[in-house]
Structure 1
Amino acid sequence: MDIYKVFLLVLAFALNMTKIYSQQSMDQYKVIFTNPPQHVPTSKTPDAPIAGNGDIGVTMGGGPDSLRFYIGKNDFWRAYPVYPGGIALPGGLDILFKELKDASYYAEQLPGSAEIKATFSTKACQVHLSAWVAATANKIIIELRSDKKQIAHVRLWTVEGNGAITAHGNSPVTWVSRSFQTTKLLSWPTHIALAMNTEKDELILNPGETVRLVITVYTNHDTESWKNKAISEAIQVTDTFIKQLRWEHQTWWTNFWRLSHIDIGDTYFEKYYYQSQYLFACSSRKGKFAPGIWGPFITQDGAAWGGDYHLNYNYQAPYWASYSSNHICLTENFDQPLLDYMEAGRMFARKLLDCDGIYYPVGIGPKGLCTSMWPLTPEEMQEKYATRENTIDNGYKFLGQKINAVFSVGNMLMRYYSTYDKNYAQKIYPYLLACADFWEDYLTLEDGRYVIRMDHFNEVMPNKRNGGIWRDKLGDFNSTLSLGLVRMLFKGILDMSTFLAVDEVRHTHWSNILKKLSNYPIGVLDGRLSLKNMERGPQNKEVIASGLNRVSIHGLILPSGVMGPITDSVFNTILLGDVERWSHKQRIKGDWGNTLNNGIETCYPGAVRVGYPSDEILMHMKERIEMAVYPNSWIVQGGGGIETFAAVPLTINEMLLQSYEGVIRLFPNWNYQKDASFRGLRAYGAFLVTSSLKNGIIQNVDIISERGRLCKIENPWRNQSVQIVRDGKSAEILCGKWLQFPTIIGEKIELRVYTK
């Protein structure tokens, strides 16, 4: 055997061992189910074991004798402009075991191997199951083994009704299809086919043998030959093919988990940290449609809010932890729906507000779809909203808010500052520019300052609770949310246009807007300064201070990143005082920050950024998780769904590393009495950072510079001098509170305490 072949064998062995180690180390954070799911099917969050590849999602419902796998796909939409349009359920697979009646139920959701494993037992027999969605293909694999010969009945099915056209066949393999194509309101057609690698509806399980079911799933958004491709690939399935597919699957997930890592000595939060990242990786993927409110885990038609892209935080929030976790690949699909809607946004801005730029309603979908029109008839409007007026804002739900387009700029800037990817900046710059065009027109200069009128802190709409009367709630003046997001926009577009060397002629005006934009409104609460939601309310009424809350955080702290202890320490002290007040305002234990309905992914990392003690935050977060969480680690809230995936990872990342204020800060909000470490977290400036804390002292600081930008970091060792080591060679020595040094592309930098 020549040396090259030996090298390849050694390399293959090393890679295989790496995968095994990765799977084993990550699978320690598995979650266990000992009872069948209780909340499947549902219009909201399922409580079942789930798996996915960022496009296709599988939810395992039912009991041992009657399993039902619900198959969802992010691009299978009933493209209506009104509810009940939105994402739809393609279908699923039933597996029936007569011998498993009254069997015990045991299942695991494994983040390392990205699969569901289950064992169902009776006194007479035991069945083992594995289910996974191939990370690199449109395929679902279900493997079955039994210790006793028995027959399983299988049925591949699709959903009837809601205007869909369905078909099915069982030769040469079993297949079903569902299409939305002829309904009058449909904006564009959607077709899907599910094909399974058998024509039989009975499977014989012999002891010790593995039976594999492979379901291939394609839509017309994947390929024009969606049906033929699904069927032909199901025909071609072989054991060799499945082994190759599993290798690719394991490789993808191994590489995913290797991108970053944290160790905080707390297995409770580490489990939710990694399970949350697993759930989002199952929901979102480059080159695929972006996930809606419930991701691809749809278990019935009529998902709440159509499962759409809700633009006043629900759509944006699931991505927030991915930037600092160095999972940029999961954010690649975020921008496309927003770019696709720009033509409609320009029309709304001009027609409804006589402004340039873009103006978006609260809910959109893929391919330029609006999902959030008011009901099309006065009668439907009366039934749902207690008023016959269905022509509000030309029939579209803007809900009194002008910020729906600019809200997404927060995510765009988070990715831009984290990567300084020029191609990405060029892609999204037209969107930022269109937002700037709008706000240049919409802002009003009064008494030497720019003010914002009629952009509302909360959604304003008719409903049955207010008897259909809503106009008396209009009139917010200088909403904290609006002021923060607009400041974020103009700060960001100044940075990006400078980076791209475009539109320099507009810099003076943009800088002037930032300089003259109204201050954030502050009042007195409980004898101290506190934040107001807005400067004045409807009918020009004075508004009392009520403190920092979820909506204010969106404008000031996250995703905007325009306020913090470095940016404005005095104002940050006010916000910190407001967070301290949350403990006194809890209505019930666990509802710290009023996050039971919405906002766990906002309030907890927001509290970290203003400097509230980390141990207190984690204590409250644990109470909140225990208050409403499903066995699959999906933290549940009353409003949206997959945004809670960002809550734990983002909170912990912000405790270990912050950079949003232009300075890298290590363990900025962490109890130094607790050892912790992280590897590969991503900082603004396109830096990958690794560090550890032990016995109250930061041990190591390693930085990889992706773009060769100037690095500014808070001195990890306070007043001690620091030795910079560049690619293993000692370089300059720096001292002071803030250390600043140039880098080059691809350079590895180490920071060490300087000793003579």
Structure 2
Amino acid sequence: MTSRRAVLGTALGGTTLAALPAVAQAAAAGPAVDATATAPRPWKLRNRMDSGDAWSKFLREQDLLWRRMPTLWHEGPFLGDGRLGSMVYREPGVNAVRFTVQHGEVQDHRPELGSGWGTCRLPVGHLTLDPVGTITGVNWRLSLWNAELTGTITTDKGTLTLAALSRDGVLAARVTADGDEEVHWTFHPEEAISPRKISEAPPTDYVTNPPWTTLTTGDIEQVLQPLTGGGQTATAYRHSGDTLVLTVAHSHPSNTRAAEASLKKIQKVQKTGSYAALRGPHTRAWHAFYRKSFVSIPDERLQSFHWIQLYKVASASVAGGPPMATCGPWLEPTPWPAVWWNLNIQLEYWLIHGSNHLELDSLATTVRQNQEQLTANVPAAYRSDSAGVGRSSDMFANRTVGRPGTGAEVGDLTWALHNVWLSYRHTMDDRLLRDTVFPLLRRAVNYYLHFLQPGDDGKLHLPSTLSPEYPVVPPQDTNYDLALIRWGCTTLLESARRLGVDDPLVPRWQETLAKLTPYPVDANGFMIGADTPYAQSHRHYSHLLMVYPLYLVNWDQPEQRELIEKSVVHWHALTGAHRGYSYTGAASLYAMMGRGDTSLTYLKKFFDPTTRYPCRANTHYTEAGPVIETPLSASQSLHDMLCQSWGGVVRVFPAVPSAWQDVTLHDFRTQGAFLVSAARKGGTTRFIRIRSLAGEPLRLRHDLTGGQVRAVLDDGTPARTRTSTDGTLTIELAKGREVLLYAGERPDLVIEPVAPGERGAAWGLPQP
């Protein structure tokens, strides 16, 4: 007798390929857009966010404010430049203010001890600002527009007025004293040992790193930290007048280069003079950063949160820099002092695409620069054609991966490459596809292909692998891996066609798609794997990857909607293990269904202080230590409500909550390399403007109502369009051209912030 699981799985296996972007076809139908009406004149958006004053005013409303002293890292201001990071809070047990000094490139170099101890991130140290008097209060502002902390520290002796920023590897602070106060800085080196020591003892063969030494060159102080595994960390700092500057360098295998580099950096900064000289280029760079896109919603606190996440990700990542560890550049005591590849790193980077900030993509540059290491991570017998990465690694992706059949977690590189593929799809830069995505994905999928075996049912099956962190004996045919294999083979076929590559593995990829076993499904929806139901609460949604973010099984397939919905409902029905990204993941899943109100309900659970792991005062998040990916993924959930692009279709305002009557988007980047601008007023979409950056086919879904929909090019002529039976609009749009869509009479084409609706307190710490 055929089981329900087999029947449902077979249905999925038979429809998955047809649902993918490269083969989705829109049927021709009667036009729903007036393609013959002649526009009376060319049009142009009026962007009221085109001046520095407008941006300064808008972002000031999003700033974080402190009216009392933060006492923990997840309460305080934070600064960063993609490598060097600092958090500001009270020095524990001391009348002083701590400025942490940590760096994303500072790590140990003993891979034989594993990522938790041997190649982990290592602490650097912290500064303290030590007042003469007892601290009685603070008044601080973290300016997003200027990426600068400013404010005062009040003591019973007077006032300290401070300003601080982090740019180009330098932490700079200017502090002046009034009354009987004085400015005293102290640098405190920290032991170069894994922050994992808070949760476990070191391995038995662990040898501590040597103690640091100090060196003085003129008025520049240095702390030099040698490492047992080779290499050096060097911190150099100088306090002169009202300005302190500090830099950190790390070298490996050289034991001296970091000292030379940090000294030269401070000497170079010394020549520029004052804090103001450092501040000028710093603020100009940040002002240019924000102007690349604009989002405004009527929920003030959530809007502020979103802009803080853009500040945060730009402080934590830069292309060519280290990949974000679970804590970003702000290392604190944590069980996770490394890069985690089975969910964390993926969620960290999603928001850079829609927000039009691909310059932050250190994940793409990391995998491109470390292809040899990714190859070395698989067993020697497979290195000729395969690559992979284990669950956690250092900044160089140095972590071996086990073999299917041994219960190993195998698919993490493939999932990370989905992020890189998203970067390609949002830029349509064939160099990224040719040099990074295609060769590495080919190797990652090849590793799977070595182990797929035909079963008695004629289908290809995968030996036991681990569905990330689901606590059972690893099953065969895990949905996590089956989804990644399907996505990987399909993407390789699409990529080969795009690049004109006659790859000899094309028949193998096609055969795999045709014969791969269906997704295991039971009465509750998608299972973990063969004969392994989803039966206990789980924070990850690894078993649902085919739905989100891969969209292999999606809401455009009516026959799959019941299965999708009951799978998501069942995932959240088993409570106890859910964490912040469980809520943001559900929010994005419901956004795919077009259910904006439900999506917002789940997203707000992340901010609900009654939940076990809510978002914290400074928008950071903790589970026994810093976990940066969840707040960043919450911004992606917001993106998914406002604009989606998958299956070859751009969807504008697909899941806007009913409470958000007004919404503004400007230069939101989508797959196909389009920039979308749109305005919603009183619950009605007034216009959509789309600019093509690559000349790719434009297929669009919209909710324009109130009259005949017009599509007008930027020279005022009608665009050529056609509409499919499902309402998808196809528009001919050449590279560099723009099209405007509206219904009825042409509305005011204005980009501006929306009026606040739901008000909320500023992030930070209010007065008690």
| TM-score normalised by L of structure 2 | 0.80
- Cα distance between partner residues in 2 of 1:505 and 1:19: 54
Deviation (angstroms), 1:79: 1.9
Alignment partner of 1:360 out of 383, 389, 399: 389
Alignment check: 8 A CA contact 2:124 2:191 kept: no
Q: Deviations over 1:641-677 (max 9, x none)?
A: 1101322210111111111121111111113562212
Q: 3-state DSSP class of the match of 1:664?
A: strand
- Cα distance between partner residues in 1 of 2:252 and 2:546: 38
Aligned to 1:496: 495
- Cα distance between partner residues in 1 of 2:191 and 2:148: 29
- Cα distance between partner residues in 2 of 1:130 and 1:397: 56
Per mean C-alpha deviation after superposition, the further-off stretch among 452-461 and 723-732 is: 452-461
**In the alignment, residue 88 of structure 1 is paired with which amino acid?**
L
Aligned to 1:88: 122
Alignment partner of 1:412 out of 411, 420, 428: 420
Aligned to 1:439: 448
- Cα distance between partner residues in 2 of 1:734 and 1:722: 11
Alignment check: 8 A CA contact 2:272 2:278 kept: no
- Cα distance between partner residues in 1 of 2:474 and 2:303: 45
Aligned to 1:74: 104
Q: Deviations over 1:462-496 (max 9, x none)?
A: xxxxxxxxxxx545122111111111111211222
Aligned to 2:152: 119
Residue 604 in structure 1 maps to residue 587 in structure 2: yes
- Cα distance between partner residues in 2 of 1:353 and 1:601: 37
Alignment partner of 1:251 out of 255, 273, 284: 284
Deviation (angstroms), 1:123: 5.4
Aligned to 1:705: 692
Aligned to 2:315: 282
Q: How does 1:216-615 map to 2 (within 5 A)?
A: 216-220=247-251, 225-236=257-268, 237=270, 242-299=275-332, 303-305=334-336, 307-331=337-361, 333-339=362-368, 342-347=371-376, 349-351=378-380, 356-367=385-396, 369-370=398-399, 400-428=408-436, 429-446=438-455, 447-459=457-469, 473-525=472-524, 530-537=525-532, 543=533, 550-552=540-542, 555-566=545-556, 568-580=557-569, 585-586=574-575, 595-596=578-579, 599-611=582-594, 613-615=595-597
- Cα distance between partner residues in 2 of 1:110 and 1:155: 25
When residues 79 and 603 of structure 1 are mapped into structure 2, their CA distance, relative to the original with a 3 A threshold, is farther
Alignment check: 8 A CA contact 1:166 1:176 kept: no
Q: Deviations over 1:414-434 (max 9, x none)?
A: 111111111111221210111
Deviation (angstroms), 1:718: 6.8
When residues 72 and 548 of structure 1 are mapped into structure 2, their CA distance, relative to the original with a 3 A threshold, is closer
- Cα distance between partner residues in 2 of 1:668 and 1:21: 28
Q: Deviations over 1:81-116 (max 9, x none)?
A: 2232311122232221112x0411333332222122
- Cα distance between partner residues in 2 of 1:38 and 1:598: 25
Per mean C-alpha deviation after superposition, the further-off stretch among 15-24 and 629-638 is: 15-24
Q: 3-state DSSP class of the match of 1:617?
A: helix
Deviation (angstroms), 1:452: 1.9
Q: State the identity %.
A: 18
Deviation (angstroms), 1:295: 1.0
Q: 3-state DSSP class of the match of 2:450?
A: helix
Alignment check: 8 A CA contact 2:651 2:700 kept: yes
Aligned to 2:235: 193
Residue 104 in structure 1 maps to residue 137 in structure 2: yes
Per mean C-alpha deviation after superposition, the further-off stretch among 146-155 and 688-697 is: 146-155
Q: How does 1:562-711 map to 2 (within 5 A)?
A: 562-566=552-556, 568-580=557-569, 585-586=574-575, 595-596=578-579, 599-611=582-594, 613-627=595-609, 628-637=614-623, 641-671=627-657, 674-711=661-698
- Cα distance between partner residues in 2 of 1:117 and 1:695: 38
Q: Deviations over 1:156-177 (max 9, x none)?
A: 2322454145222344123223
Deviation (angstroms), 1:222: 13
- Cα distance between partner residues in 1 of 2:645 and 2:566: 23
- Cα distance between partner residues in 2 of 1:222 and 1:112: 39
- Cα distance between partner residues in 2 of 1:15 and 1:606: 33
When residues 700 and 560 of structure 1 are mapped into structure 2, their CA distance, relative to the original with a 3 A threshold, is same
Q: 3-state DSSP class of the match of 2:329?
A: coil
**In the alignment, residue 595 of structure 1 is paired with which amino acid?**
H
Deviation (angstroms), 1:146: 2.9
Alignment check: 8 A CA contact 1:662 1:712 kept: yes
Q: Deviations over 1:323-354 (max 9, x none)?
A: 122111111x2034434554454455444779
Alignment partner of 1:166 out of 212, 227, 240: 212
Alignment check: 8 A CA contact 2:615 2:631 kept: no
**In the alignment, residue 496 of structure 2 is paired with which amino acid?**
S
Alignment check: 8 A CA contact 1:280 1:645 kept: no
Alignment check: 8 A CA contact 2:386 2:444 kept: yes
When residues 726 and 615 of structure 1 are mapped into structure 2, their CA distance, relative to the original with a 3 A threshold, is same
Alignment check: 8 A CA contact 1:180 1:191 kept: yes
- Cα distance between partner residues in 2 of 1:245 and 1:171: 22
Deviation (angstroms), 1:629: 2.5
Q: 3-state DSSP class of the match of 1:481?
A: helix
- Cα distance between partner residues in 1 of 2:355 and 2:730: 24
Alignment check: 8 A CA contact 1:600 1:647 kept: no
Alignment check: 8 A CA contact 1:708 1:744 kept: yes
Aligned to 2:25: none
Alignment check: 8 A CA contact 1:65 1:98 kept: no
Q: 3-state DSSP class of the match of 2:514?
A: helix
When residues 653 and 742 of structure 1 are mapped into structure 2, their CA distance, relative to the original with a 3 A threshold, is same
When residues 59 and 222 of structure 1 are mapped into structure 2, their CA distance, relative to the original with a 3 A threshold, is farther
- Cα distance between partner residues in 2 of 1:320 and 1:245: 31
When residues 150 and 550 of structure 1 are mapped into structure 2, their CA distance, relative to the original with a 3 A threshold, is closer
Q: How does 1:111-150 map to 2 (within 5 A)?
A: 111-122=144-155, 124-134=157-167, 137-150=168-181
Per mean C-alpha deviation after superposition, the further-off stretch among 342-351 and 621-630 is: 342-351
Q: 3-state DSSP class of the match of 2:699?
A: strand
Alignment check: 8 A CA contact 1:487 1:514 kept: yes
When residues 600 and 616 of structure 1 are mapped into structure 2, their CA distance, relative to the original with a 3 A threshold, is closer
- Cα distance between partner residues in 2 of 1:547 and 1:217: 42
Q: Deviations over 1:564-607 (max 9, x none)?
A: 212x23213321233345675555xxxxxx53265344332223
**In the alignment, residue 25 of structure 1 is paired with which amino acid?**
F
RMSD: 3.3
When residues 504 and 245 of structure 1 are mapped into structure 2, their CA distance, relative to the original with a 3 A threshold, is same
**In the alignment, residue 431 of structure 1 is paired with which amino acid?**
L
Alignment check: 8 A CA contact 2:486 2:513 kept: yes
Alignment check: 8 A CA contact 1:362 1:399 kept: no
Deviation (angstroms), 1:459: 3.6
Q: Deviations over 1:126-166 (max 9, x none)?
A: 222111102xx221111112332532222223224541452
Residue 714 in structure 1 maps to residue 701 in structure 2: yes
Q: Which has the higher contact order (CA 8 A, sep 6+)?
A: 2
- Cα distance between partner residues in 1 of 2:261 and 2:535: 60
Deviation (angstroms), 1:17: 9.4
- Cα distance between partner residues in 2 of 1:368 and 1:721: 54
Deviation (angstroms), 1:49: 1.5
- Cα distance between partner residues in 1 of 2:699 and 2:439: 29
The count of corresponding residues between Structure 1 and Structure 2 is 667
When residues 460 and 117 of structure 1 are mapped into structure 2, their CA distance, relative to the original with a 3 A threshold, is same
Deviation (angstroms), 1:626: 2.8
Residue 743 in structure 1 maps to residue 764 in structure 2: no
- Cα distance between partner residues in 2 of 1:276 and 1:556: 27
Alignment partner of 1:18 out of 41, 51, 61: 51
Residue 53 in structure 1 maps to residue 95 in structure 2: no
**In the alignment, residue 218 of structure 1 is paired with which amino acid?**
A
